[in-house]
Structure 1
Amino acid sequence: MFYAFIRGLVSLSLRLFYRVKVHGSATGFEGPLIFVGNHPNSLIDPALVFILTRRHITFLAKEPLFRMPVIGWILKGLNALPVYRKQDHPSLMTKNEGTLDAARSALVEGRAITLFPEGRSHSEPSLAELKTGAARIALGAARQGAPVRIIPVGFTYEEKDVFRSEALVEVGTAIEVLPFLQGAGADGEEKETVRLLTERISAEIKAITVNLERWEDLPIIRMAERLYAFRQGEKVGSERLKHWARGLLLFQTEQPERMEQLRSALMSFHRRLALIQASPEDVALTYQRRGVLAFVVKNLGVVCLGLPLFLLGLVLFGVPYQIPRLAARRSELDVQGTVKFLVALAVALVWWPGLTAAFWALGSWGWGVGALLGVPPLALFTLYFSERWSVLWHDITVFFSLGNRSRLKALLQADGEQLSLELERLANEYRVRLESPSASRG
């Protein structure tokens, strides 16, 4: 009951905080499973596993979390298992054997567990070297006859600390563990088997995540994706960024001069668009009198109808909306999303009944019931309207930046067209290699 409640609350809250997208098979999660993934966003990463399956999952988490207020209580209620890391408790590392035994026993009983083999959350541009714990747990359970499968899960965040940004959860190809046991007998062979399985886990996670040599390359692949998607008439998607990242590494290795020319051109185009706060899609817009009039009428209606509710929302929620941001401002980047999410959830659970009680006391039971039912939708509308206002302001800015500057717009269109053609040629050159299983795992 406790697990179902926490899973439902966290899943709903995550879908409100992020725009969660799940790619890959969300079925076939029966039997003994280990979910493994990259770890860029602290407690948000394991929480997103709740969205994948209704199965009861046993989480492995670093031991200091069990001593934190509320979080520790929740982890214990979920029957999570503590992992003692060298950087936390050098003298308690021997206790990990008990954790590994418990994890193996869970798999032998046919249960599912989740762990993050990098051993820590981080904001590096690529997957870190994996610890061997996942492989050792899986192989140990397989030796006891459990048909263990390892499910790689990739987490890609548009902006991991920003409300309503995209969070992509991609499920990779399941790894059957039993075949790795063939020929594993002596100690040396055991170590080799662990190494091979760990390398396979790493390769599968890399195949479903974005891995870069440096963060400076991220604006390049994002611009490449926007130009390519626009030319293909498709929506921009985080799921294709991993192909651009792998293609960037191949391209840079095989054709360095051509790569530097393209990098320079993309960054120049990116900077020029940033100066006028525009996107490739904005540059392609054609403004016609009828379309502009429809835009003005539509958005005036939205503003006139929504502004009073939005102002009411600002009065009621202005303070709680600022609390998560202030609480997270001194946190490390990989922890900011977790801090904002947890603080926002805690504030909501206090502010909602607080407003209900205040309206009941100042008005009547009718006002109290109205607040109880009306506060959640008003809070969500206020956030929606603030986002809508940002989009509206962006459209107005672009209109005045490009609407009457035909020469600038024509130059940007020509450069964008030339770049998108070059990117399309590159995509055709490298597509087969990037989409093949060997390229994904290599």
Structure 2
Amino acid sequence: MLYHLLKPIAVTGINLFYNSISVENQDRIPKKGPVIFAANHPNTMIDPLIVAASCGRRVSFLARSTLFFNSFISWLLTTLGIIPVYRKNDAKDDMYRNEEMFSATYRHLERNHGLLIFPEGASTPERVIHKLKTGAARIGLGAEEKNNFMLNVQIIPAGINYSASTKFRSDVHCRFGRPIKLIDYKEKYQKDNWSTVEEITDQLRKALEKLTATVSDKEDEDIVKSLESIYKKELTVNLGMDKKSKSDDFKISKGIIKALEWFSINKPKWTLDMKRSIFQYMSMLDRLNIKDDFLSTGQSKVTFFHRIQSWFFLIIGFPLFVYGVIINYLPYKISGHLAVWSVKGHVAAISSKKMTIGLGLFVFWYSLIILLFSFMGYSFIWTTIFFATFIPAGNFSLYYYRKAKNYQQHIRFLTIFYQKRILLYQLIEKRLNIINELNRAKDDYFAQLNKNSNH
């Protein structure tokens, strides 16, 4: 009952926080029967909400035991189906109680419920799949063994991809992998249970690597981010993919990562030189405080008509922008500052803190405004209409602000063009050289892929 009551609130929260949440391969999830969702974990408490909102099943999930810090919280979390895990680094003396955890998960699976597990253990924002713990395989196989392999437990890998996990109104893309059917491992498990657990865990790791735009080497994160900034849009157009499709966007990122890994192995010197050149270019952009978009040859030309449109939008939209700021700015900024302060450097927790603190502050702030408005003598209908404008006005203000920042970048670009024209020409030439090198590398890479596929 409580789960069904709170789930719409949580789903509303993440839909307000993120601009879009897209789901791929949802048809791979069985509508009935016991399932274990095993997902990567870059964003603490947001990750379980994303999977729960995307999978179409009721799920319970495992959480560290330290969250159950008093009797009320323990009751609340247990009622929601959350099961405590006693980890060595934060509950060393209580690790014997993990037998209770295993028993609870078995009961959930025996009732044909869904479980959500984050096999990496800890939540980290890096674009890396860390070493997986064996819990998902052990729980699934343990439940099957207890029930003579009659449950038909399936492990569903889930890859969660954020465009910018801590940024308000960014995008999320959740991808589900092919089910790992534990009944297929019955004979292996009965012969050697531990090697079977390790085999399934390794299969799960490979699945999560395919489902996420993660790198195998943490040191490659920055270069992948730079390549996405410089080359992603051009690749999308060249390969005939849809710029608005989150699935195609993921494929491009994944292709960039795979190509980088191939060149690092097969052409290490070229790769090192290319990295150095790209980092120099990105550093120059930072010093000039301009974006790569303004140097891209693929950008459409800004005509006089477009400039008039931009000015018209900025002038006409300004009063609504101010209105949205008055209504929303204070709780928006306070929640952001409180979130950063409260996580104490734990970046992966910023989004969940922003969302929970923000929900509380916005509810309080909106209620206060509504009370003041009603005390001024306005009718219920006018008060309701007034309230209905709060969120749309806030979204418009954010959109207006980003448009204004973009136009400011245009002005900044023109200023640099007139004041530092030679430097700008050098920057454009450097970018063209990088793009030409990347295009040649792309052709070499695809030729090699075709050659390998023909053998």
Contact 2:43 2:351 in 1 (8 A): yes
In the alignment, which of 115, 120, 123 is matched to residue 121 of structure 1? 123
Counterpart secondary structure, 1:151: strand
Match of 1:8 in 2: 8
Amino acid at match of 2:264: Q
Superposed displacement of residue 434, structure 1: 8.3
Give 1:211's aligned residue.
Answer: 214
Report the CA distance between 1:49 and its aligned residue: 0.8
- 1:204-353 aligned within 5 A: 204-212=207-215, 217-232=220-235, 233=237, 235=243, 237-284=249-296, 291-330=302-341, 331=343, 332-353=346-367
Moved more, 312-321 or 190-199: 312-321
Counterpart in the other structure of 1:372: 387
Corresponding residue number in structure 2 for 1:50: 52
The Cα shift of 1:93 comes to: 1.4
Q: Which letter does structure 2 place at the counterpart of 1:178?
A: I
What secondary structure sits across from 2:389 in the alignment? helix
- TM superposition shift of 1:383: 2.6
Aligned length: 433
The 1:66–1:434 alpha-carbon spacing in structure 2 relative to 1, beyond 3 Å, is: farther
CA shift in 2, pair 1:183/1:217, >3 Å: closer
In structure 2, distance between residues paired with 1:432 and 1:200 = 29
Once the two structures are superposed, what CA deviation does each residue of 1:415-434 show, in whole Å capped at 9, x if it has no partner?
A: 33332233234334445988
Q: CA RMSD in A?
A: 3.0
Preserved contact between residue 58 and residue 113 of structure 1 (Cα < 8 Å)? yes
1:393 aligns with 2:408: yes
Give the letter aligned to residue 327 of structure 1.
L
Output the CA distance in 2 between the equivalents of 1:415 and 1:55. Answer: 51
Quote how far apart the aligned CAs of 1:71 are.
7.1
- In the alignment, structure 1 residue 172 sits paired with structure 2 residue 174: no
User: Residue 405 of structure 1: CA displacement?
Assistant: 6.6
Change (3 A) 1:199 1:285: closer
Residues 125 and 424 (structure 1 numbering): CA distance in 2 closer, same or farther, change over 3 Å?
Answer: same
Report the counterpart of residue 66 of structure 2 in structure 1: 64
1:360 aligns with 2:359: no
CA contact (8 A) 1:156 1:168 kept: yes
Structure 2 CA distance for partners of 1:158 and 1:73, relative to 1, 3 Å: farther
* Paired residues of 2:15 and 2:21 also in contact (CA < 8 A): no
Alignment match, 1:183: 188
- Deviations for 1:116-164, whole angstroms, at most 9, x for unmatched residues? 0111112344222111111011112333212222111122323322212
Provide closer, same or farther for how the CA distance between residues 2 and 305 of structure 1 changes in structure 2, counting only shifts above 3 A.
Answer: farther
CA contact (8 A) 1:41 1:338 kept: yes
Q: 1:72 to 1:372 in 2, by over 3 A?
A: farther
Q: CA deviation at 1:337?
A: 1.4
CA distance in 2, matches of 1:378, 1:70: 38
What's the secondary structure of 2:174's corresponding residue?
Answer: strand
* Residues 317 and 400 in structure 2, CA contact (< 8 A), matched pair in contact too: yes
Could you tell me which of 150, 153, 157 is aligned with 2:155?
Answer: 150
Aligned position for 2:42: 40
Between the aligned partners of 2:72 and 2:359, the Cα distance in structure 1 is 12
1:129-148 correspondence to structure 2 within 5 Å? 129-143=131-145, 144=147, 145-148=150-153
CA contact (8 A) 1:58 1:112 kept: yes
The Cα shift of 1:206 comes to: 1.6
Counterpart code for 2:185 = F
Kindly tell me: are residues 358 and 102 of structure 1, through their superposed partners in 2, closer, same or farther at Cα, counting changes over 3 Å? same
Are the counterparts in 1 of residues 328 and 390 from structure 2 also a CA contact under 8 Å?
no
User: Per the alignment, do residues 273 and 434 of structure 1 end up closer, same or farther by CA in structure 2, a change over 3 Å counting?
Assistant: farther
2:42–2:348 Cα contact (<8 Å) kept: yes
Rounded Cα–Cα distance in structure 2 between residues aligned with 1:341 and 1:69: 25
Q: Measured at CA, do residues 125 and 228 of structure 1 come closer, stay the same or move farther in structure 2, by a change above 3 Å?
A: closer
Contact 1:36 1:115 in 2 (8 A): yes
CA distances 1:187-237 after superposition (whole Å, capped 9, x unpaired): xx1111111111111111122224346655333212323443333325493
1:238 deviates by 4.8
Gaps of 5+ in 1: none
> Given that residues 416 and 424 in structure 2 are in contact (C-alpha distance below 8 angstroms), is that contact kept between their aligned partners in structure 1?
no
Structure 1: how far apart are the matches of 2:321 and 2:110?
54
TM-score normalised according to structure 1 size: 0.87
* 1:430-441 alignment, distance < 5 Å: 430=445
Q: Is the 8 A contact 2:28 2:178 kept in 1?
A: no
Identify the range of structure 1 (6-15 vs 189-198) with the bigger mean alpha-carbon deviation.
Answer: 6-15
Secondary structure of residue in 2 paired with 1:185: helix
Distance 2:177 2:422 in 1: 47
Q: Contact 1:243–1:434 (CA<8 Å) still a contact in 2?
A: no
1:237 partner SS: helix
TM-score (norm 2): 0.85
- Which of 82, 85, 95 in structure 2 is aligned with 1:83? 85
Give the 3 Å change call, closer, same or farther, for CA 433–62 of structure 1 in structure 2. farther
Residue deviations 1:263-310 (CA, integer Å, cap 9, x gap): 11111222223333444432135999x944223321222222221122
- For residues 35 and 287 of structure 1, do their structure 2 counterparts lie closer, same or farther at Cα, with a shift above 3 Å needed? closer
Question: Are the equivalent residues in 1 in contact too, given 2:65–2:84 (CA < 8 A)?
Answer: yes
